[in-house]
Amino acid sequence: MQRIRIVVAGALLLLTVVPASAAAHGERASSVVDDVYVEPASGVGFLSAAIASARRDLDLSMYELRDPALEGDLVRAAHRGVRVRVLLNAAYYGERENSDAARVLSGGGVHVTWAPRGQIFHAKYLVVDNRRVYLGTGNLVEYYYSSTRDFWVLDQNAGDVAAVERTFSGDVHAQSLATVTHGGLVWSPGATGALLSIIDGARRTLLVENEEMRDATIEDALAADARRGVRVDVVMVKSGRYLSELRDLARHGVRVWLVPSSPIYLHAKVICADCSSTDATLFVGSQNFSYSSLDDNRELGVITHSGVAVTTVTRAIASDISAATRLTP
């Protein structure tokens, strides 16, 4: 594979603060994660509770929204005087997929905005009262809940929440290139460098779970890790779609694990470097390993060293591996 580094230029508004934890690890800034929710076990009750707890503001950005119960939660919040804003993806069939939810929400007093049709808005997050943000890998579609592996994390850092809120407000007003970053937040477009920093920084082990594998830069970095002695485990759904890329990784020494698409479909997007040690680095976000996801779409993820996140996520992925078969070159 040929390693190509792509630099995306644009009118990006950056507000970067490096916390002490990042300095201690000598690497990219990170954020503290206060809680982790593993799907399908967790369900979405935590999001319903978060919506019910709102007193002033609720801001939701979602790629797919088809859940009458959650839509009802948002409408009830609007009826009790909470300012509720929902940003829905319109690109790539998004307007068709989200039209029913948009109609229900608009009719219930929720401020619904369609994202620009020329850019996929794949980010999944909820901001509550400008105090906490729930950031996930999963869509809010009722029939997915019982059968997909996804993760959500809770981030209550004031700087992170403010950065997400400012970016959301910019997106609502069609300023889709103006992201605000803080701590370990990772936005797309332009996420490739942040993910490479984790992959390149792995010293002993690297654990990856993702839905897609079609970005030569990421693939080359994974192969390079394996060649220099890092134990690299890649976990994906068993299908023929990315078999060529995965076989190439296996030829370079990457341990590729393929999981049946049923009973649990792997939809999560996770990277964990040295996750069995005290200095583990974890990424959880909406970014798939594809050029469009990393450098075109609007996406959001977070880098953290928080032990509760590392332990919870890696335990779930270990369970996925237990149901997998290893791909041989």
Which one-letter amino acid corresponds to residue 310?
A: V
Q: How far is residue 127 from each of residues 157, 176, 313, measured CA to CA in Å?
A: 12, 18, 22
pLDDT at residue 5 greater than cutoff 70: no
φ, ψ of residue 97 to 5 degrees: the values are -65, -35
Q: What is the 3-state secondary structure (H, E, C) of 75-135?
A: HHHHHCCCEEEEEECCCCCHHHHHHHHHHHHHHCCCEEEECCCCCCECCCEEEECCCEEEE
Q: What's the confidence (pLDDT) of residue 272?
A: 98
Token output for 41? 């076990």
Burial class (CB in 10 A: 0-12, 13-18, 19+), 239: exposed
Measure the CA–CA gap between 171 and 63, rounded to whole angstroms.
14
Average pLDDT (217-231) is 98
The mean pLDDT of the chain is: 92
pLDDT at residue 27 greater than cutoff 60: no
Query: What would be the CATH architecture of the domain defined by 35-172?
Result: 2-Layer Sandwich (3.30)
Answer yes or no: are the C-beta atoms of 190 and 299 closer than 8 Å. no
Q: How far is residue 81 from each of residues 51, 71, 221, 306, measured CA to CA in Å?
A: 13, 16, 49, 35
16-25, 63-72, 250-259 — which is least confidently predicted? 16-25
Token output for 244? 């060529």
Q: What's the confidence (pLDDT) of residue 178?
A: 78
- Which residues of the chain does CATH 3.30.870.10 include? 26-32+185-327, 35-172
What is the sign, positive or negative, of the torsion defined by CA atoms of 160, 116, 170, 168? negative
pLDDT band at 177 (very low <50, low <70, confident <90, very high): low
pLDDT band at 176 (very low <50, low <70, confident <90, very high): low
Within a 10 A sphere around the Cβ of 296, how many other Cβ atoms?
A: 17
Share of the chain above pLDDT 70, in %: 91
Q: What's the confidence (pLDDT) of residue 194?
A: 97
pLDDT at residue 19 greater than cutoff 60: no
| Chain-centre distance for alpha carbon 34 | 16
Q: What's the confidence (pLDDT) of residue 10?
A: 34
pLDDT at residue 301 greater than cutoff 70: yes
Q: Between β-strands 281-285 and 132-136, what pairing exists: parallel, antiparallel or unpaired?
A: unpaired
Q: What's the confidence (pLDDT) of residue 320?
A: 98
Q: What's the confidence (pLDDT) of residue 163?
A: 98
Which one-letter amino acid corresponds to residue 73?
A: D
Q: What's the confidence (pLDDT) of residue 11?
A: 32
pLDDT band at 307 (very low <50, low <70, confident <90, very high): very high
pLDDT tens digits, 132-171? 999 999 999 999 999 999 999 999 999 999 999 999 999 9
Q: Where are the alpha helices (DSSP H) in 182-242?
A: 192-201, 216-227
Average pLDDT (32-58) is 98
With residue 234 as reference, give the H or E element that holds it. strand 231-237
With residue 27 as reference, give the H or E element that holds it. none
pLDDT at residue 13 greater than cutoff 90: no
pLDDT at residue 20 greater than cutoff 80: no
Q: What's the confidence (pLDDT) of residue 329?
A: 85
Burial class (CB in 10 A: 0-12, 13-18, 19+), 37: buried
Average pLDDT (60-87) is 98
Question: Which positions ≥6 away from 60 have C-beta within 8 Å?
Answer: 74, 84, 85, 86, 87, 125, 126, 127
Answer yes or no: are the C-beta atoms of 17 and 157 closer than 8 Å. no
Share of the chain above pLDDT 90, in %: 89
End-to-end CA distance of the chain: 16
- The superfamily in CATH containing domain 26-32+185-327 is Endonuclease Chain A (3.30.870.10)
Average pLDDT (245-268) is 98
pLDDT tens digits, 226-236? 999 999 999 99
pLDDT tens digits, 93-125? 999 999 999 999 999 999 999 999 999 999 999
